[in-house]
Amino acid sequence: MCPKKQTQKQKHRGTTAEHSGLCSKSAGEDSATATATATTGWRDEAVNGGSLKLVDLHTGSNGWASPPGDLFSLRGPNYFSKKQKSPSGAWLLQPAGVDWLRSSTKLDNVLGRPDNRVMHALRNSQSRGEYLKTFILAVNLQVPGRDHHSAVFYFSIDEPLPSGSLLHRFVDGDDAFRNQRFKIVNRIVKGPWIVKAAVGNYSACLLGKALTCHYHRGPNYLEIDVDIGSSAIANAILHLALGYVTAVTIDMGFLVEAQAEDELPERLFGAVRVCQMEMSSATFVDTPSKKFGASKISNHHNPSRVTASKSDDKDDD
């Protein structure tokens, strides 16, 4: 996804045990993430209602699953002194579904649309006095083309984010802070060699610096719209990968990069596995001209800038 060819291979230090479905178990995980499989209420509807279906982590195809955080090696407690990485452990947020969408124009601020199915499910629960503190964080990967596509990954938490935490600072931060910290970690699980050569078996990228990102902050959500077409190199790599999409399974982990000692260790706020997806499974969405409500903070880049801004984890990313 990062607009720079990754050539270094990850010597993965995480556990080799993968868990199916929504499970993300790891040693020492906290109670907030210990019952990821027990989705109830609005989240159950959101998880199971998208055009891209929830499938088995190991055998599923044309769908999505939630890979355990321990499959991702991130900056550990001693990273700045010893450059050591460690398995991420459990996600900070719970998975709340995936949408694979198609439209005639680029889809922005999907959560702000009145027809968004995930927000609709949450509003229904809140009308009954339930999940009143729930917060949603969505990542919208915008794929340009004759038809525009969006892969939207939803994550949520039912209690307020811990005040002063790195994720809390990211959610309530400004444009500059978010762009310096929003990071993706890719892991090719299955795919032809040409895709692995282009994307890298395991790579990390600061998306907010490498691509144009738009941040939409609503009263109970933050959506990050990632414009892959803003980089000619990223766009070319993505379209190469899309040519083999039905043969590719990829893990994507999202996090806020730690850049100071007291921000370590890094933790994923969410992760998703996309399993051999079919382009034709996308749901068509109308795009009326009127704007939907939410404050938007935009990352303005030099349009000519197409080189990568890769995370500086040079040892194994």
Q: What's the CA dihedral at 255, 260, 261, 263 to 10 degrees?
A: -40
Q: Could you give the number of structural domains in the chain?
A: 1
Radius of gyration of the chain (CA): 18
Q: What's this model's pTM, rounded to 2 decimal places?
A: 0.82
| 8 Å CB contact between 53 and 22 | no
pLDDT tens-place values along the chain, 317 residues long = 565 444 333 333 333 333 334 444 343 344 333 334 334 589 999 999 998 999 999 999 999 999 999 999 999 999 999 999 999 999 999 999 999 999 999 999 999 999 999 999 999 999 999 999 999 999 999 999 889 999 999 999 999 999 999 999 999 999 899 999 999 999 999 999 888 888 777 889 999 999 999 999 999 999 999 999 998 888 888 878 888 889 999 999 999 999 999 999 999 999 999 999 999 999 999 876 545 555 443 343 333 333 334 455 544 45
User: Is residue 28 in some structural domain?
Assistant: no
| Separation of alpha carbons 289 and 62, rounded Å | 31
Q: Hey, which bits of 17-132 come out as E strands?
A: 53-54, 63-65, 73-75, 85-87, 94-103
User: Is residue 33 in some structural domain?
Assistant: no
- Residues pairing with 13 in the sheet: none
Residue 98, SS3 per DSSP: strand
Cα distances (angstroms) measured from residue 264 to each of 165, 208, 294: 11, 20, 31
pLDDT tens for residues 62-114? 999 999 999 999 999 999 999 999 999 999 999 999 999 999 999 999 999 99
Range of the domain at 240: 41-293
pLDDT tens for residues 217-230? 999 999 999 999 99
